[in-house]
Structure 1
Amino acid sequence: MLKIIGRLMGLKGEELKYNKEILIFMIISASIFLILGLVHTKQGSQIVYANKLNVLMLSKSENEGISNDDINKIIADYKETVPVNITEFEVYDIKDRVDNYIDELKGKNNRKLNKIIDKLEEANKSNKKETLIENLKQINLEEMLKKISKTEITKEKLQSVASWQENIFLSIVYLGIATIISFAAIIVKIFCNIDLSSNKKDTSPKNLYR
């Protein structure tokens, strides 16, 4: 294409340079815009941010939330504090067990546990055995811990970033630009007869003005 334009301008073949380099640049540009277009789609944004940034987001969330090991231990300790046969215990014994469990949670010095601690303290205020047991059974500890787990916090952050990255308009624009550049590169390759695999310049008369 550049040679065609050059010929229309009256330039000689030897004056036209860098056709191969420009074609390579066009191919690279088309590839970049294609990638940008795919990244801004819903599936693309999820793949990029769920897989590529997962490790980074986990490292940034290291001081936030509760690890899976801690969650398993907290749940196991709670099951020991409030066992299946809790109805066989006296009310004061139940309250003491819950108080000790609350102290253990406070000893972890993790502000993410504050809501659970508040919930347990509120449930433990009752002096009626039936009401106390009912309050403790209504606490869904596993669900509450899941919301503050490091894995869940990281997942929410990744989804938030992926949602921000998703932009159908930009995707269409970038894919459109990639298509135009690719089409132009094909035309240049065909009509200018540029050999990308060879570093030698063909100076034969038949190819001088191609």
Structure 2
Amino acid sequence: MLLNARSPAACVRSRPHSQVQKHSLRPVLRSKRVVAVRASQSAGVKEALGQLKQGLAGKPTIDPAYLNGAAYLKTIGFTNQAEVARVLDIAMNPNSLFLSYGDGRRTRNASARTLDVDADIRPVVEFLRNKGMGVGDVPKVISGHPPVISYSVPDRLEPFWEYLSSIGVPDVAAAVVSRPSLLGLDVNANLRKIVEYLQYTETPTEKIVEYVCKSI
């Protein structure tokens, strides 16, 4: 029986072999990419945790800043050593092998650098507590967005809090605890532009607050 030129079977037969091959390979390639991402994340965990364990054992294979940071994070509620290693690697290593912060985003920490507990990490923790976060909230926020411990309080966090309050967010601390990735928004780099665009399009204030806290 002759196939109609417009029939699905005819379309499949007439499709170039290279197109069929590419189409059939897509699921395989996608699967390989997922495996590669997971392997990279696993490698990041093993490397960071391995270095931290060696450092805690007294072997000079790790920057003292990591050891001091780990000791401090444990005093504020962190109990999982692997999580401590992940947080510190993202916060201090510009080439961290960790691909995401827990919110699914592939984001590089532009503020990553060697951190001092007293000069860098402690001021951030105290700032978050002074803004009303509970004892258990601070570790949750840091785990949800590790770069926060590398942010400057006067240059990054204070302007962020003030700006969210100015656009009508009733409880900035609660919004951040609910969605730590909000801290990745920089007022001057992107947040202000987004809000001003929404205001320009006459988006109601309550909708803007909702977008900022839940969607952006």
Bin the TM-score by the shorter chain.
Answer: under 0.3
What TM-score do the two structures reach when normalised by structure 1?
0.24
Question: Greater Rg, structure 1 or structure 2?
Answer: 1
Higher relative contact order (CA 8 A, sep 6+): 1
